[in-house]
Structure 1
Amino acid sequence: MHSPFARVLLTSLTCILTLGPQAFAFNHHRLDSRAMINPTLQDSYDFVIVGGGLAGLVLASRLTEDSSTTVLVLEAGGTGEDVANTINHPGLAYYAGILGNPEHDWQWTSVPQPNAKNRVMNWPGRLLGGSSSANGLYIVRPSSVEVDAWQSLISGLDGADNWTSEKFFAAMDKSETFTPPSAEIQATGNIQYAARSRGSSGPLHVSYPGYLPEIVGKWTNTLSNIGIPVNSDPAGGNAGGAYVTTSAINPTNWTRSYSKTAYIDPYYRPNLHILTDSQVTRVIFSGTKATAVEYGQDRKTVNVGKEAIICGGPVGSPATLMRSGVGPKDVLDAAGVPVVVELPGVGQHLQDHLASQIIFGTNDETAGSVHANADDPRSTSDVFLSYVNSAIAYASSSELVGDVESYKNDILSQLDAGLASVPSTDSTVLAGYKAVYEVAANKLITSSSGQVELLLALTGTSAGSQTISVQAALQRPFSHGRLYINSSNPFDPPVIDPNYLAHPSDLVVLREGLKLARSIGMTEPMNASVTTEISPGANVTTDEQWNEFILNDFHTEYHPSCSCSMLPKDQGGVVDAHLKVYGLDNVRVIDSSVFPIEWAAHMMAPTYGLAEQAADMIKAQYSSTGSGSSSSPSPSSSSSSRPSAAHPSAVPTSISLIISSLFLPLILAHLFL
């Protein structure tokens, strides 16, 4: 007869061997994910990733699918564990916020902007997961015509075929698992969608919030009545028109789905180390080969085995390159940084979305009114806090100005004015500006892609009153700015000069967008929800009055890009079509800074697609030298990011092997009792 201990042990081991690693997935995830963040570092890693934002964490996850590949992520911000509840509940991130807190925010500002009454703009963020940990959740894809325009700019480069619209949309599909809205939410928001255009097995949860104000259901009909068509398939290659867009939300528990919870937390990877609170100060070179990365106040170094991959975003990536001696020679000389590679385009071509808004009073329920009512039990519920706006539209040139051909010709006639506003005299940067300008004028202005985004904002109040805001945001700026360093001290903030509204057409387009925004509040069925126009007020009617209002009111949508543009080197390009930095042997930049044109879209979906495609390219390059890849990550099922039982690779079979090896002697002993 077996002892009670032996019987319990045999039963437990039978469960282990039958169920496999899934039986222990949750507990081992919680222990092991903590172990890989802020570990004791190795001397060297195959890939050192500079920046643990959206793109950096996607790359870290995908590259370490190959257990023989070692990856270190160096992130200047914290883990976010201290504000996890705020991050996970999107409404809290919006209303309470984590930005503005120096623990989680660089608190960068632009230089005073002459075309904004010398106002400065905040450019926030510093946290593991990057902007995906604190943004408004919008998963909005660009149109295929925009991706095709991007590819046309790099058509002469080796590897340009990696960036066709077909491959780019497939990469965005790969990043996500789409869940349709509930029947109640679909009816409330009058939502249309096409599941065939969405991903079904990616790490990122994409769905709709669990709460919608009823006023959202008026959006698409109102837009249709002002001539902007309803789009039932905005993810399928044409993002123009009006719709209720998807959010990066986990519909099983209404928590934020972002790069950390989607790509990192579910997977125990002993070959992946993440070091937070560790700002990279520079990449160290031997000739043109990156050999180490320096980080932290005490300037520690870690060696680079294969590549240094810079994922610092539109601000951090060009700043890191320049601090490492790669960039415009005049900037580096003035900052006292020795030149490793002269690359005039670093920090140039900087573009951003600008927005202003019409604020209407309303007596209808809004998210802002629910949140402001502490007696409403919904105001603190997970379902309510899953909502951070969702109704948008992208207005084309024809919907803004009518005569598209005349508008295009006007834009082309102002090319010289645009060139004069470029904050560089370098001939290659000017050539790049001209190339981007002409592609935008000839291919994008005449298309159905958006020139202005219209966004219904229901989260605000004004002087204690319930409000509806309709924002209008310029999507295709012809004003390009720059970012640069003015000191050799890597802890000094970079200089951010977006050069807002330097090109005269940008103000015209934003003004026409605001006129459309006003018309929305005056058109059925939305007008039934409007009591008055609070701002700018009905007395603003002339173009001069509109202009004055915009210059005092406009703000950034927090969508900067293009500061390390993928363009030919003789057009001020920073990276080639393989995302490798010109002139360097083993450094890539992979984040939204490499897009050469500003998308008519929010930046999150295309950046996920970029990182997915980049990971495949890197793995393909090194697979020929014996580095393979394993199965893809799958979506987690909750905010605790438990591995999906449908994908046992989420927790390695090594756990089962370890357990088996530990207990095998006991099993054998039991058999002979």
Structure 2
Amino acid sequence: MASMWSLGLLFTTVFHSFCLTHAYAAHHDVRNLQARNIIEATSIASSYDFVICGGGVAGMVLANRLSEDANTTVLVLEAGGTGDDVSASIDIPAETYYATLLGSNYNWGYHTLPQPKAGNVPLSWPRGKGLGGSSAINGMYLVRPSQLEVDLWSSLIASQDNDSAAAWNWDNMFAAMKLSETFTPPSSQIQKTGDIQYNEDSHGTDGPLHYSYPGYLVPPVGDWSPTLEAVGVPTTSDASGGQTYGNFVATSAINPSNWTRSYARAAYLDPLPDRPNLAVLPLNTVTRIIFSGNSSDGSLIASQVEYASAAGAARKTVNVNKEVILTGGAIGSPQMLMLSGVGPPDVLQAAGVPVKLALPGVGQHLQDHLSSQVIWDATGDTYSSLYHDKYSTTPTTSNAFLSFVNSATAYVNITTLLGSEEEASAFQTQIIDALASSSSSLVPSNDSTVIEGYQAIYNATVNQILMSPVGQVELLLDLTGTQQSGSQSVAVQCALQHPYSQGQITITSNNPFQQPAINPQYLSHSADVTMLREGLKLARKIGQTPPLSNVMGNEILPGSQVNTDAEWDAYLQNNVGTEYHPSCTCAMLPLSQGGVVDANLSVYGLANVRVADSSVYPFEFAAHLQAPTYGLAEQAATIIRSNYNGVPLPWAPSPTSQPSSTTASSANNNAAASLFQINSGLVTAFGTLFAITTISVFWTMF
């Protein structure tokens, strides 16, 4: 009989004898054939209508959608490589745990500043560097935010521009997320083994990205739901339909036709025919945006994008006919703005960058999902089926077997977390009462608008989200082994979803090849400590509750010596990681609240620059950010194409409606950009608008 740790051992021993040979050769060949839009530096044109800075999730979506208009030229500049040289590590889902790319050139290798409340050490922040971005190296979770959270996002910008804010309400974002996907239900066998529930109507049927479930599951996945129900966390039958509460088995970015990872490059770039109007240039880093005009009259126009292949290489430029679109993520996008002279004046001046536009919110409002875990020795005979009985093909020679990823998930609300409505209400009151002291001592900026933004996010979180059914912590079942005990361990991980601690990202020099300073200020607010501590207590309880407890041995971490709140808090200080979900550094908020972009994703004060990635979310979602970012990018493409093609937006109000002041301002910005285009000899494009997570334990959550 196979012991509990056989899963990890078996994965490790079979991968390099099977995975890297014939199983994925055909897929690799297809990719090489389909890379027709990837160019060499010598083939770049002198100008493009749209220059997309970053070839990750949003960059790939926008490249695909914008280039559907044949008379529109699109360039993508990506700092990393194509991924062809590491295709097996990308394509094979389980390689996420056993042949990670974290030590390769496909990881930016970021680290935070030492965190005083988290062991006073820096934390690793891996981010994907290459075509597809983090979608090429993450844990493949496709978990959407709840309807309540998405509608709250929309409401935070609606006071400034109600019409444009409609793009970000649940109905429209739900449609955009479905637009991005093709959903394949699990087989009846997989559904039974994992006790999987889903609603097919909440998914798309013909989008580029594949949503499905692993082709192989082990019995403890099916133990998740009854165990969670036993501790008071109900099962949700429709986790993708806006009610992301309770426990479920998450969908993953897996293509069940060949059991490969479905990621942004494979979904949005590789299937394209040769498009003469689309160019994707890898291995070239955007160093700055070059502007013409001035900020005093709102006519600061991005006329060129500067880039280089390496720190010591010559800087080159490409002309911009229409817009620059930043898709560098929560780190890259604010860094590019600041290097270009757009950001907090004190930060820019200290870094030696001339101030082109004072925009204090750039890099501010940084939030992330901080996490910890309870770990047990693995035991029991439940993995005997690993070798036989379940599948007609032996697992060790099955592509389906190699698609196994962790996917048992739960979002726990504050009442369940604290034990009663009375405890939850008292906790809410404590947080509300701490607003004044928190905003005066915890905001890493002295700018009044950034402080206003902190307060707006804080109030929205405590008043609209905290007492709702929305999860305050996420729980994940890790069956693939941990750093502490290798393949012979199993963990229940806990991650804080709505932090009251906010940080910042700043540049420290004008060198674009020097990493920025990342300071998330983890656990600086006491409410974050409380919620993460209570989540860990619940994680321990889960591991002690049948049927899941049947596969748990001795508790390795934190161990039986940790029981009191003070002991849990001390444990937390030295045992935290992250789900790798940074966001909010170019927040979509009013300018008066330290916002960076408006409801149309346009950067305040710039005529033709947008940001379209996870940096624009104003607060963290109880979700993994991959799924909503695909939807965000689809919406961005619709907004941009509507603007230039003269096609009404699907959510546009009737023609009799009066434009808001922000809409009028956006129109003025567009007019300025149009004048620049005429002076450059640009013929306006036209077309039809189409309705269209290291082997580290925490890496499984990315």
Q: Which bin holds the TM-score, normalised by the shorter protein?
A: 0.7 to 0.9
Distance in 1 between residues matched to 2:63 and 2:438, nearest whole Å: 39
Per-residue CA deviations over 1:572-607 (Å, capped at 9, x if unaligned) read 000000000000000000100000010100010000
Cα offset for 1:38? 2.9
- Match in the other structure for 1:340: 356
Distance in 2 between residues matched to 1:318 and 1:48, nearest whole Å: 17
Say which of 111, 123, 137 aligns to 1:121: 123
How is 1:604-623 mapped onto 2 (pairs within 5 angstroms)?
604-623=626-645
Q: Which range moved further: 622-631 or 41-50?
A: 622-631
How is 1:276-291 mapped onto 2 (pairs within 5 angstroms)?
276-287=282-293, 288-291=300-303
Secondary structure of the structure 2 residue equivalent to 1:597: coil
Cα offset for 1:632? 7.4
- Match in the other structure for 2:460: 439
Distance in 1 between residues matched to 2:561 and 2:414, nearest whole Å: 26
Query: Is residue 351 of structure 2 the alignment partner of residue 351 of structure 1?
Result: no
How is 1:19-418 mapped onto 2 (pairs within 5 angstroms)?
30-31=32-33, 33-38=35-40, 40-101=43-104, 103-125=105-127, 126-158=129-161, 159-268=164-273, 269-287=275-293, 288-296=300-308, 297-364=313-380, 378-379=395-396, 381-401=398-418, 402-403=420-421, 404-418=424-438
- Match in the other structure for 2:22: none
Cα offset for 1:531? 1.9
Kept after mapping to 2: 8 A contact 1:215/1:364: no
Normalization by structure 1: what TM-score?
0.87
Q: How many residues align?
A: 603
Cα offset for 1:464? 5.5
TM-aligned CA distance change 1:434 to 1:60, over 3 Å = same
Q: Which amino acid aligns with 2:52?
A: I
TM-aligned CA distance change 1:29 to 1:535, over 3 Å = closer
Secondary structure of the structure 1 residue equivalent to 2:450: helix
TM-aligned CA distance change 1:176 to 1:32, over 3 Å = closer
Kept after mapping to 2: 8 A contact 1:29/1:267: no
Q: Which amino acid aligns with 2:289?
A: V
Query: Is residue 546 of structure 2 the alignment partner of residue 524 of structure 1?
Result: yes
Distance in 2 between residues matched to 1:411 and 1:327, nearest whole Å: 30
Query: Is residue 515 of structure 2 the alignment partner of residue 456 of structure 1?
Result: no
Q: Which amino acid aligns with 1:433?
A: Y
Per-residue CA deviations over 1:68-102 (Å, capped at 9, x if unaligned) read 1110000000000000111000111321111122x
Q: Which amino acid aligns with 2:112?
A: S
- Match in the other structure for 2:18: none
Distance in 1 between residues matched to 2:685 and 2:283, nearest whole Å: 34
Cα offset for 1:295? 0.2
Cα offset for 1:534? 1.4
Cα offset for 1:370? 7.2
TM-aligned CA distance change 1:418 to 1:100, over 3 Å = farther
Secondary structure of the structure 2 residue equivalent to 1:442: helix
Cα offset for 1:405? 2.1
Cα offset for 1:629? 3.2
- Match in the other structure for 1:572: 594
TM-aligned CA distance change 1:357 to 1:231, over 3 Å = same
Kept after mapping to 1: 8 A contact 2:220/2:548: yes
Cα offset for 1:384? 2.0
Q: Which range moved further: 122-131 or 476-485?
A: 122-131
Distance in 1 between residues matched to 2:688 and 2:97, nearest whole Å: 38
Q: Which range moved further: 179-188 or 34-43?
A: 34-43
Q: Which amino acid aligns with 1:351?
A: Q
Cα offset for 1:454? 0.4
Superposition CA RMSD, Å:
2.0
Per-residue CA deviations over 1:395-438 (Å, capped at 9, x if unaligned) read 00111112332221111111123211110010000000000000
Distance in 2 between residues matched to 1:275 and 1:612, nearest whole Å: 22
Say which of 528, 542, 554 aligns to 1:506: 528
TM-aligned CA distance change 1:257 to 1:473, over 3 Å = same
Distance in 2 between residues matched to 1:446 and 1:93, nearest whole Å: 36
Cα offset for 1:30? 4.9
Gaps of 5+ in 2: 1-27, 294-299, 388-392, 647-683, 693-702
Distance in 2 between residues matched to 1:332 and 1:368, nearest whole Å: 60
Cα offset for 1:245? 0.6
Normalization by structure 2: what TM-score?
0.83
Kept after mapping to 2: 8 A contact 1:367/1:458: no
Query: Is residue 450 of structure 2 the alignment partner of residue 429 of structure 1?
Result: yes
Secondary structure of the structure 1 residue equivalent to 2:81: coil
Cα offset for 1:32? 5.6
Kept after mapping to 1: 8 A contact 2:112/2:122: yes
Kept after mapping to 2: 8 A contact 1:370/1:379: no
TM-aligned CA distance change 1:273 to 1:162, over 3 Å = same
Distance in 1 between residues matched to 2:499 and 2:396, nearest whole Å: 38
Distance in 2 between residues matched to 1:626 and 1:128, nearest whole Å: 27
Q: Which range moved further: 485-494 or 507-516?
A: 485-494
Distance in 2 between residues matched to 1:302 and 1:123, nearest whole Å: 31
- Match in the other structure for 2:14: none
Distance in 2 between residues matched to 1:437 and 1:598, nearest whole Å: 11
Gaps of 5+ in 1: 1-25, 634-673
Q: Which amino acid aligns with 1:326?
A: V
Cα offset for 1:157? 2.4
Per-residue CA deviations over 1:551-579 (Å, capped at 9, x if unaligned) read 10010110000000000001000000000
TM-aligned CA distance change 1:631 to 1:151, over 3 Å = closer
Distance in 1 between residues matched to 2:262 and 2:30, nearest whole Å: 21
Query: Is residue 511 of structure 2 the alignment partner of residue 489 of structure 1?
Result: yes
- Match in the other structure for 1:647: none
TM-aligned CA distance change 1:421 to 1:184, over 3 Å = same
Query: Is residue 531 of structure 2 the alignment partner of residue 548 of structure 1?
Result: no
Kept after mapping to 1: 8 A contact 2:34/2:271: no
Cα offset for 1:542? 0.3
Q: Which amino acid aligns with 1:114?
A: P
Kept after mapping to 2: 8 A contact 1:369/1:466: no
Q: Which amino acid aligns with 2:144?
A: R
TM-aligned CA distance change 1:273 to 1:538, over 3 Å = same
Q: Which amino acid aligns with 1:252?
A: S
TM-aligned CA distance change 1:227 to 1:77, over 3 Å = same
Distance in 2 between residues matched to 1:301 and 1:88, nearest whole Å: 34
TM-aligned CA distance change 1:292 to 1:184, over 3 Å = same
- Match in the other structure for 1:17: none
Kept after mapping to 1: 8 A contact 2:345/2:359: yes
Q: Which amino acid aligns with 1:61?
A: N
Secondary structure of the structure 2 residue equivalent to 1:47: strand
Distance in 1 between residues matched to 2:395 and 2:202, nearest whole Å: 33
- Match in the other structure for 1:627: 686
Kept after mapping to 1: 8 A contact 2:194/2:219: yes
Q: Which amino acid aligns with 1:294?
A: E
Kept after mapping to 1: 8 A contact 2:254/2:262: yes
Query: Is residue 498 of structure 2 the alignment partner of residue 468 of structure 1?
Result: no
Among the aligned pairs, what percent are the same residue? 55
Kept after mapping to 2: 8 A contact 1:62/1:632: no
Kept after mapping to 1: 8 A contact 2:47/2:318: yes
Distance in 2 between residues matched to 1:632 and 1:53, nearest whole Å: 23
Distance in 1 between residues matched to 2:186 and 2:366, nearest whole Å: 37
